[in-house]
Amino acid sequence: MTASVLDGWVREDFTAAGITHGWYRRGEGPAVIVIHELPGITPRVTAFADEVVAAGMTVAMPELVGTAGEAPSRGALARSLARVCISREFSTWATGQTSPVVAWLRALGRSLHLECGGPGVGAVGMCFSGGFALAMMVDDTMVAPVLSQPSLPLPIGSRRSADLGLSADDRVVVAQRAADGCSVLALRYRDDRAVGTRFDTLRDLLGDAVEAVELDSRRSSDHSVLTEQRDDAAVTRVIEFLRGRLGVA
């Protein structure tokens, strides 16, 4: 762990649904769960989370894979990707399934809502965790889901490329919550192949409830909207969305 990167963050453990992970917390106000991308809680993931804290919210950063504070590298990416591919917590390949780790995230959200108050909680998923924020909508406590470059299941083949990482039952509940007024914010670079055709599926499922921010790619490698290939306007929109949905003055 790089102390300077996570200075001011408090690490705790949380157990639910037979799963235990560490998580980092900071801030005051309604809770937002910032779920890191690969390879883990990098300095730029933490920098984004610090901006959410500064905007008046409590932030929880689960440590699902990787080493917190470690900068991205090919080695770190390979280790984290291997972990995601072999762990039963993540539905890396299967279609029509909700990753088991989402049950843990939902429980963390419920716990934080009881503690922090407000109209509910928010979540920002990125890359492999992008779809987790959508799946968390099964709980009524999730009122501000943000999907940044959702990339699971891995987009190999047309079915996986279109899949949102939801079980059939969860898909019905998510669609109903959207129809009842729960808005969803989704972001991606247009040429990002890792996202596949999921934005088309999102529109079909959620209709006008999804706000899709689709950015022109500057480079073929553009992927991480909020961190490594950060778009400042997109970050601003995410924070506005979270503050609005969570009632932060």
SS3 38: coil
Q: Cα angle at 106 between 227 and 249, to 5 degrees?
A: 60
3, part of any domain: no
What is the predicted pLDDT for the residue at 2?
A: 43
What is the end-to-end Cα distance of the chain in Å, rounded?
A: 34
Please provide residue 69's backbone torsions phi and psi, each rounded to the nearest 5 degrees.
90, -10
Residues 6+ apart with CB under 8 A from 46: 5, 6, 9, 61, 69
Q: Quote the tokens at residue 154.
A: 């891995």
Spatial separation of the C-alpha atoms in residues 198 and 182, rounded to whole Å: 19
pLDDT, tens digit (0-9, with 9 covering 90-100), for 138-147: 999 999 999 9
**CA 116, 63, 146, 222 torsion-angle sign:** positive
4, part of any domain: no
The structural domain count of the chain equals: 1
39, part of any domain: yes
What is the predicted pLDDT for the residue at 249?
A: 86
Write out the residue range of the structural domain in which residue 47 sits.
10-246
Residue 237 has pLDDT above 60, yes or no: yes
88, part of any domain: yes
What is the identity of the amino acid at 22?
G
pLDDT band at 44 (very low <50, low <70, confident <90, very high): very high
Calculate mean pLDDT across residues 204-216. Answer: 98
What is the predicted pLDDT for the residue at 37?
A: 98
pLDDT band at 192 (very low <50, low <70, confident <90, very high): very high
Mean pLDDT over each residue of the chain, to the nearest integer: 96
2, part of any domain: no
132, part of any domain: yes
pTM: 0.96
Q: Domain containing 171 — which CATH number?
A: 3.40.50.1820
What is the predicted pLDDT for the residue at 153?
A: 96
What is the predicted pLDDT for the residue at 1?
A: 42
1, part of any domain: no
Q: Minimal CA–CA distance to 229: which of 196, 187, 199, 184?
A: 187
pLDDT band at 30 (very low <50, low <70, confident <90, very high): very high
Calculate mean pLDDT across residues 163-185. Answer: 98
58, part of any domain: yes
The CA-atom distances, in angstroms, between 183 and each of 85, 90, 147, 241, 245 are 30, 25, 12, 9, 8
